[in-house]
A = this chain, B = another copy of it.
């Protein structure tokens, strides 16, 4: 047992990277510590209050027979509670907190009390609805909820050592394995999640039945006749091994792809792995927003066609960005390739982090890339998948920053932290990482303790970091290859200092010409952070009349009023004079009346934290006549 890890790949045959426990990466200062403390102190409690206030927890008491009344909300509401349990458990793994633990254990008790004698657990399908259990697999999310319970119970067990919830999960998983399988009923869930949870339950218990069940549930998709409707929306249009285009409901697809990668790594079945990679190429090479957001369409919360990436009507559900992050994580574990870590970082700093307000108490479900000022974060949703999803991801973030492998330590994303890990084949490595990343590209790694054998330190060099250098004492490697890990092998010793320098110039990004919505537009990135223009920084200006001057140098300026977001980019752009409300809708192009205008671009993740107003990521480029 390696502590509270996110994904227990220690015994996974196909894993090239092994996990580190959350408490092996102790955040200290920097971008993340305060942000995660906010989630811990504010967000988790606000979410628990919402779970109470909306009756989601009461549903368990009702199912246990402890209270009367109707079921509250929607049939998938249990899953919100489970994701919060997962988040709270991860938090306790690094930060003891008796008050939070009390809340958590109370919820865990409520969950356990609702389990039925046969192991079934779903508070919606109780009493008069009990006869509808497992009746509508396509739409009713019973295994989806079960999957989240399993994930929560594993996190709870790893973090607290208590089996209460794990035993509940095992009984439910056994019930599912008995009910659905090659020798019993053919079926799977319309909303994927159970598959990846079953794999992790296998990793936790080493009981092979759960892995086999995951394979069975995956193989049930795309059957004739279909078991969950047969539509692309449910990724049920083809057997999973034959799926290569990311289509349908985006969150479903990402969870499916996670399980494909998981199963491939555990079983060595290449068909699943090939599908997980092909789908990733489809999603990330042709259907992903520059923010890492996935899902172009509101209709079906779904992927669009290749290069169909509208800005204002982007769906880009927070959960889909998180699902994409989890998916890329699995491919990173299986391949060690930097592109997957880079996709995770892009999603993390942009498409995911935008889902949470800077005060930690409000959420985006959809994450458009432009807006007229109406899209605002909400304290909760009727369908509240996103809030606890972002909480569980951020509470487990330390587990995603670092991996180990034979005689090697891998740093995927840089954060100020004390890293204290056992490197297989070598021994304990302790080091202090200091960085103002993503605001600054200097990362200092001070070795505090190292074994007396060579260890390779793999430092990820982002693809945008042309000119990056790595210095160890007086030994400097200039212009290290980008989009790859830079491996430094030596027998490290206490007192060694490694300094990584990632050039952090502001970059103009253009989209593939087939992305019709971005013709004549560029996005601004600095490091991994996508920026945007907000009305709040341009009072008196019509945001849609502003344009980038591609010759402009951008400067970093300190920014007040956005907690946790101290920097903005400032540069001279232009404003068109023929963009007012009286200008004709359609007209012969006239010589442009450009005037200089000072532009301020803030990180996309920080948008909509001030007065409501327009926002745009993709900005017109000033063109000469």
Contacts from A to B (Cβ < 8 Å): 284-286, 288, 290, 298-299, 305-308, 310-313, 370, 372, 464, 507-517, 519-523, 542, 544-545, 550, 576, 578-579, 581, 583-589, 616, 620-621, 623-624
Q: Is B512 a contact partner of A583 (Cβ separation < 8 A)?
A: yes
Residue of B nearest to A620 (CB): B519
> Given A521-B519, A542-B514, are A509 and B587 neighbors across the interface (CB < 8 Å)?
yes
One of B310, B586, B623 near A511 (C-beta < 8 A): B586
Q: Is A510 a contact partner of B588 (Cβ separation < 8 A)?
A: yes
> Given A522-B589, A585-B285, are A370 and B516 neighbors across the interface (CB < 8 Å)?
yes
**For residue A514, which residues in chain B have a CB less than 8 angstroms away from its CB?**
542, 544-545, 579
**For residue A545, which residues in chain B have a CB less than 8 angstroms away from its CB?**
513-514
Sorted nearest first, the 9 A-B pairs with minimum C-beta distance are A520-B520, A513-B579, A514-B544, A519-B520, A510-B589, A519-B620, A290-B586, A512-B585, A509-B586
Q: Is B310 a contact partner of A313 (Cβ separation < 8 A)?
A: yes
Q: Is B544 a contact partner of A620 (Cβ separation < 8 A)?
A: no
Nearest chain B CB to A198's CB is how many angstroms away? 33
One of B510, B520, B586 near A512 (C-beta < 8 A): B586
Q: Is A515 a contact partner of B310 (Cβ separation < 8 A)?
A: no
**For residue A515, which residues in chain B have a CB less than 8 angstroms away from its CB?**
585
Q: Is B585 a contact partner of A516 (Cβ separation < 8 A)?
A: no
Complex Cα spacing A588 to B464, Å? 9
Nearest chain B CB to A605's CB is how many angstroms away? 17
Q: Is A512 a contact partner of B588 (Cβ separation < 8 A)?
A: no
**For residue A298, which residues in chain B have a CB less than 8 angstroms away from its CB?**
299
Complex Cα spacing A464 to B586, Å? 11
Count of chain copies: 2
Complex Cα spacing A509 to B576, Å? 17
Residue of B nearest to A619 (CB): B519
Nearest chain B CB to A305's CB is how many angstroms away? 6
Known: A370-B516, A514-B542, A516-B544. 13 other contacts (CB 8 A): A286-B581, A306-B581, A307-B544, A308-B312, A509-B587, A510-B588, A512-B586, A517-B517, A520-B620, A523-B586, A550-B589, A623-B623, A624-B624
Nearest chain B CB to A579's CB is how many angstroms away? 4
Most buried by B among A581, A583, A584, A586: A586
Complex Cα spacing A516 to B581, Å? 15
What are 28 A-to-B residue pairs whose CB atoms are below 8 Å? A284-B585, A285-B584, A298-B299, A307-B544, A307-B585, A313-B313, A370-B516, A508-B588, A508-B589, A509-B588, A510-B589, A512-B579, A512-B586, A512-B587, A513-B578, A513-B583, A513-B620, A514-B579, A516-B517, A516-B616, A517-B517, A519-B519, A519-B620, A520-B520, A520-B521, A520-B621, A621-B623, A623-B623
Nearest chain B CB to A599's CB is how many angstroms away? 15
**For residue A550, which residues in chain B have a CB less than 8 angstroms away from its CB?**
589
Q: Is A286 a contact partner of B585 (Cβ separation < 8 A)?
A: yes
Residue of B nearest to A585 (CB): B512
Complex Cα spacing A620 to B511, Å? 13
**For residue A520, which residues in chain B have a CB less than 8 angstroms away from its CB?**
519-521, 620-621, 623
> Given A305-B372, A372-B305, A544-B307, are A516 and B312 neighbors across the interface (CB < 8 Å)?
yes
Most buried by B among A290, A370, A522, A584: A584
**For residue A589, which residues in chain B have a CB less than 8 angstroms away from its CB?**
508-510, 522, 550
**For residue A621, which residues in chain B have a CB less than 8 angstroms away from its CB?**
520, 623
Complex Cα spacing A585 to B520, Å? 15
**For residue A307, which residues in chain B have a CB less than 8 angstroms away from its CB?**
544, 585
Most buried by B among A286, A298, A308, A588: A588
Nearest chain B CB to A614's CB is how many angstroms away? 10
Complex Cα spacing A299 to B285, Å? 29
Complex Cα spacing A433 to B545, Å? 46
Nearest chain B CB to A478's CB is how many angstroms away? 21
Complex Cα spacing A310 to B370, Å? 13
Residue of B nearest to A466 (CB): B588
**For residue A588, which residues in chain B have a CB less than 8 angstroms away from its CB?**
464, 507-510
Residue of B nearest to A511 (CB): B586
Complex Cα spacing A299 to B298, Å? 10
Q: Is A510 a contact partner of B544 (Cβ separation < 8 A)?
A: no
Q: Is A544 a contact partner of B513 (Cβ separation < 8 A)?
A: yes
**For residue A620, which residues in chain B have a CB less than 8 angstroms away from its CB?**
513, 519-520
**For residue A624, which residues in chain B have a CB less than 8 angstroms away from its CB?**
624
Complex Cα spacing A616 to B517, Å? 13
Nearest chain B CB to A494's CB is how many angstroms away? 41
Nearest chain B CB to A157's CB is how many angstroms away? 40
**For residue A512, which residues in chain B have a CB less than 8 angstroms away from its CB?**
579, 583-587
**For residue A306, which residues in chain B have a CB less than 8 angstroms away from its CB?**
581
Residue of B nearest to A370 (CB): B516
Complex Cα spacing A587 to B515, Å? 12
Residue of B nearest to A374 (CB): B305
Complex Cα spacing A515 to B621, Å? 15
